């Protein structure tokens, strides 16, 4: 089980576009998640977005760097950034992404 949540306990069904960059010193990196028309923005949704939670069998990774994108005053997308400052945080993120990618049919494209 690996899922992304914007409010604890509520799985986001939209699979994001994810861009990952490793730091120059190889100790960490940054991952940028872009959700186009996320379920969290559905008209019927009344949940509050409190962060982005990456949840799997090992636990939870949290970032509060979550921004909404609006078009003509209506919410259309979410961009979230996860900053990893150490090699252990980087490895933990990769373990989560391996599980998430397998469950959601994602692939890796190197630039």
CATH of the domain at 85: 2.40.30.220
Q: Does some domain include residue 20? A: yes
Average pLDDT in the chain: 91
Range of the structural domain that residue 76 is part of = 2-104
Residue 111 pLDDT > 80: no
d(CA 3, CA 44): 21
* DSSP E strand boundaries for 25-93: 29-36, 52-56, 59-63, 66-71, 74-84
Q: Does some domain include residue 111? A: no
Closest by alpha carbon to 75, among 39, 32, 51? 39
Closest by alpha carbon to 50, among 64, 39, 60, 68? 64
Q: Does some domain include residue 110? A: no
pLDDT tens string 58-76: 999 999 999 999 999 888 9
Q: Does some domain include residue 109? A: no
CA distances from 35 to 4, 53, 55, 59, 72 (A): 11, 14, 17, 22, 18
- Domains contained in the chain, number: 1
Closest by alpha carbon to 80, among 110, 106, 42, 49? 49
């Amino acid at each position: 089980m690996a899922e992304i949540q914007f409010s604890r306990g509520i799985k986001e069904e939209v699979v994001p576009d994810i861009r990952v960059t490793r730091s120059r010193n190889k100790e960490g990196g940054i991952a940028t998640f872009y959700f186009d028309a996320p379920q969290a923005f559905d008209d019927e949704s009344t949940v509050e977005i409190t962060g982005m939670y990456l949840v799997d069998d090992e636990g939870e990774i949290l970032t509060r760097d979550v921004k909404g994108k609006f078009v003509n005053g209506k919410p259309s997308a979410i961009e979230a950034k996860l900053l990893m400052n150490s090699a252990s945080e980087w490895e933990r993120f990769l373990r989560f992404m391996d599980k998430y990618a397998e469950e959601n049919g994602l692939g890796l494209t190197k630039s």
